[in-house]
Structure 1
């Protein structure tokens, strides 16, 4: 019998590793894929198409080819999943979610979509789907009402969404289904809620745990005119147009599974509850007429008007009020919104102090735009003044101009003069610094040579050599024992911070985010319309990317929104940043003139300032 030699443990491990390496695909192999919720879609009802990209490198956004009977709605949402080894990103999985809508019924195709990945062009597989017409009728009615058909730029649009749902009655029920049940049959995930998405979400709660109750009303059926019982639901929203011209609210389309037949559940746990046995898809668009947004007139417009529209009051305070020539004085301007519907104070610009001749004649004004802080219905701007002369007795009235849309005229309000006391600055002569002598002490002009060396200063050697007790005063103790540890700690902290800035790129980007954004804002103020809008957008998106240590490269608007939401930024600020980036994109390619671009740069600066003042998670 021949003995077989067993392989060594090292050989077994090497064989296993070789087998795993042959079965595992290359970590940097790029791939793209496409998926869809369902192969059957409804005409006019948005559905989601997801393009997934797996790569270790960079890739460009997919370039959709022309589509027949389909339309891609807006920018995609983005989600990422990173794979890191030893702190280095080796692969990323990126999912781009697109909202797509079918515009006609029949068989439709999404052709292969090219995606540039690491210099190579990859394509998704084609997708075939079937679009069918949804049911209509009078079971669901939606209308959007606006209070005014014409407004001035800077005024809000008050809009209300009204829904009417016909109660469903079945032979298994003792009466019609209640309003909470009928509301729950709305497919809010697939409905386009437009500007009403936020108030509806606030009403139903984060997990849709709150019941929405409608009130029972009688109204005519649109098709027959006969009075019929409906459940009525109503939602309000305020929208601020950001440009002049025709303005349309985002489209609203409601989708509902309206019952055709009910059944009782046979499950032991449901105790014979009613369930929908058959339903039909109902799609109801809510159209609204466009609103005309007018620009405030040029006639009689004050030269120092900064774009405020509404009704405001202004007050001023200063401190200190007793200063020397050239000493800084902090001037605070508080603007109070007196409008009945409120104004977007976040974008309210300060009055241009350098244009107030009565102020610049007596004071030096800093060239930087004053910082503004919003608190409820007030916004406070602070700036620094320096008196030029000792005869300046007051800070003159500061004018603030706004356009009153109700009276259709410009109004100028002023602050109350602030008395101050300015003294002459102390001037130190050169002889007081170099070579000066105290008065009454005659200067010595001769030197006397004494023999004996040190003994000439003190003849008694015993007194010179006599020792005395060392007195440790508190001041000496602080200097001797307190300063060295503090100095060592400061040096160690500075060195640690220097090393972290050098080695931790994420920390360095976060620390320099504000400085970089301000530099881009300053550059945007010096260039033309489209380039200014591009730099303003880069300032905002770059700031978010630096704060979040996002991969280098331009972030889409959806990326910025996703980062802000993950960091716990308040929804109002997230929506303002999103609107600012969308406006930048529009002006960048369409152009609305120098005034619009300048206003947009100010808006981007305000977004960065609010983000800087917000606590990030």
Structure 2
């Protein structure tokens, strides 16, 4: 049906033809093909055309429309004529063979409206490729939970040689004919879709029926987190394979290219994986889910402690098999062992650091009344290599624990800050691992008679008090100045934490619980400093803020400037 309309330029626009076309004429199932709507007319320029996409059940639209236009002007016997073409193309794919009917659509422009008739498209079943071989394999079809397994994807090509041209197409060139965007790669998507990592594949040669073929193999490692049946989805390779070559001569020399090619689609069968749970027999009661074989060592940053004084416990876990997921490895079950040995453990552990085959953990602990040393700690695990339970243990560490220091609060230097009305509840959480402050009762008045008698004896020594006091004050100031310099020059969260605690203990005159001393002067300041110490303890292992050490140093130096 032909429609006539006047164009914007005063010329007559004639729509001469409109039709569907499919390329290739008989597409294959699973191979993308092109559906094209072509409109031709007479006139100077092609008008803007709107048309609905060819939505058909069973056909998936992958891309489009790609709109292209063309025009030409011809003069014959002094008569000028103009013609235009406009094509709209969609890339579609049919997952199965069959007959599909492109729908009747209406093409609309500002100068015409035309109905496009239906078109039947027959999709044939794609024959198994005789030129490309694809295999998906798993190194262990029945792994243990969390066991590392390797998946291999192998693609082999039948050698292609054009006898007339005497040219052979290498497997590397054949690999470039795979359409990676259209292929379904499953767990291999992360490496094959990366052009740089795709080049890290292993060159392999075929065996058996594929003897004489060659190609490439990719390997990825994975774990199965839960037991039961797991299914590896099939891999689909979509592309083409050369049928013939052609030699062309250009100003740059002779080149050979693919003249014709045939479509290729290869699907691997799915693989069922039976993921096993470690056996109940001989399972340690404190097993927390660790899989692998490990070495465990423990250390303390110091071994001479006062009761309730915090100390850092460092655990070093080494992966002896080299296949464990250290970042997701459960922490060793040490809380009960430490508690039974007289230690209190910080309830908020920081995450560990993983460097190579070693994971390092830190915990803040403190000795209580019955603590005599760090006990042997253990990490039970199941070794998937030997299929046996193992227990890694650390060596015991002797520790010297003495009673905590007590201080007469009345002897503290006076503060320039006003006492705040809100009291702070002093307890173990005010400083992780610190003992309880014991209040020293104030001295009562002695009987008048005894005082009069003793006064005569003491009077002679009063002259020596100022000199003694000056020497003591000078010694304390020198110690604080020395610790202040160490605090300002300390590098790293661990060094800053040790210098900060030493400075605060010296400033307060109380080793076991200096936070409680500050709390009697400024509860809010004590709370702020305590929170800063907690953030500092966690920051070295990724659990706190990066500027935690600077915050602690700033608060402590501010205490000195205000003479608290």
- TM-score bucket of the superposed structures, by smaller chain: 0.5 to 0.7
Q: Find out whether 1:177 has 2:156 as its counterpart.
A: no
Query: Is contact 2:201-2:218 (8 Å) kept?
Result: no
2:231 counterpart residue number? 248
- SS at the partner of 1:151? coil
Query: Is contact 1:159-1:238 (8 Å) kept?
Result: yes
- Any stretches of 5+ residues in structure 1 without a counterpart? 1-37, 48-65, 74-98, 111-127, 222-227, 447-474, 479-607
Query: Is contact 2:133-2:157 (8 Å) kept?
Result: yes
2: distance between equivalents of 1:46 and 1:376?
45
Within-5 A mapping of 1:505-544: none
1:411 aligned to which of 385, 390, 393: 390
Please give the per-residue CA displacement for 1:174-213, whole angstroms capped at 9, x wherever unaligned. 14212222222222222222223344456x517x7x5978
Deviation of 1:423 (Å): 1.3
2: distance between equivalents of 1:146 and 1:410?
25
Please give the per-residue CA displacement for 1:275-304, whole angstroms capped at 9, x wherever unaligned. 222211101112253111011123433232
Please give the per-residue CA displacement for 1:17-62, whole angstroms capped at 9, x wherever unaligned. xxxxxxxxxxxxxxxxxxxxx9998634689xxxxxxxxxxxxxxx
Query: Is contact 1:337-1:377 (8 Å) kept?
Result: yes
Query: Is contact 2:233-2:270 (8 Å) kept?
Result: no
CA 1:131–1:179: 2 relative to 1, 3 Å:
same
2: distance between equivalents of 1:611 and 1:272?
65
Deviation of 1:144 (Å): 1.6
- SS at the partner of 1:154? coil
2:309 counterpart residue number? 327
1:367 aligned to which of 347, 353, 366: 347
1: distance between equivalents of 2:125 and 2:390?
55
1:283 aligned to which of 254, 265, 278: 265
- SS at the partner of 1:243? coil
Please give the per-residue CA displacement for 1:423-463, whole angstroms capped at 9, x wherever unaligned. 110123466569968xx9x99999xxxxxxxxxxxxxxxxx
The structure whose Rg is larger is 2
- SS at the partner of 1:205? helix
1:220 counterpart residue number? 209
CA 1:425–1:263: 2 relative to 1, 3 Å:
same
Q: Find out whether 1:348 has 2:337 as its counterpart.
A: no
Within-5 A mapping of 1:7-406: 43-44=29-30, 68-69=57-58, 102-107=95-100, 133-200=125-192, 204-205=195-196, 214=203, 217=206, 219-220=208-209, 229-269=212-252, 271-339=253-321, 342-356=323-337, 359-389=339-369, 392-406=371-385
Deviation of 1:72 (Å): 11
1: distance between equivalents of 2:101 and 2:405?
85
CA 1:218–1:422: 2 relative to 1, 3 Å:
closer
2: distance between equivalents of 1:611 and 1:283?
52
- SS at the partner of 2:232? coil
CA 1:401–1:179: 2 relative to 1, 3 Å:
same
Aligned residue pairs total 345
- SS at the partner of 2:133? strand
- Any stretches of 5+ residues in structure 2 without a counterpart? 1-23, 34-54, 63-91, 104-119, 413-439, 453-477, 482-540, 547-564
Please give the per-residue CA displacement for 1:137-195, whole angstroms capped at 9, x wherever unaligned. 32001112222221110112222222210111224431421222222222222222222
Deviation of 1:109 (Å): 8.6
Deviation of 1:400 (Å): 0.7
- SS at the partner of 2:174? helix
- SS at the partner of 2:161? coil
Please give the per-residue CA displacement for 1:541-581, whole angstroms capped at 9, x wherever unaligned. xxxxxxxxxxxxxxxxxxxxxxxxxxxxxxxxxxxxxxxxx
1: distance between equivalents of 2:235 and 2:127?
17
2: distance between equivalents of 1:443 and 1:263?
127
1: distance between equivalents of 2:260 and 2:544?
50
1: distance between equivalents of 2:261 and 2:287?
59
Please give the per-residue CA displacement for 1:506-543, whole angstroms capped at 9, x wherever unaligned. xxxxxxxxxxxxxxxxxxxxxxxxxxxxxxxxxxxxxx
CA 1:216–1:435: 2 relative to 1, 3 Å:
closer
1:426 counterpart residue number? 405
CA 1:353–1:181: 2 relative to 1, 3 Å:
same
Please give the per-residue CA displacement for 1:383-405, whole angstroms capped at 9, x wherever unaligned. 1111112x522100111110122
Deviation of 1:414 (Å): 1.3
CA 1:338–1:435: 2 relative to 1, 3 Å:
closer
- SS at the partner of 1:427? coil
Query: Is contact 1:156-1:238 (8 Å) kept?
Result: yes
2: distance between equivalents of 1:100 and 1:383?
58
TM-score under structure 2 normalisation? 0.52
Query: Is contact 1:214-1:233 (8 Å) kept?
Result: yes
CA 1:443–1:154: 2 relative to 1, 3 Å:
farther
CA 1:173–1:419: 2 relative to 1, 3 Å:
farther
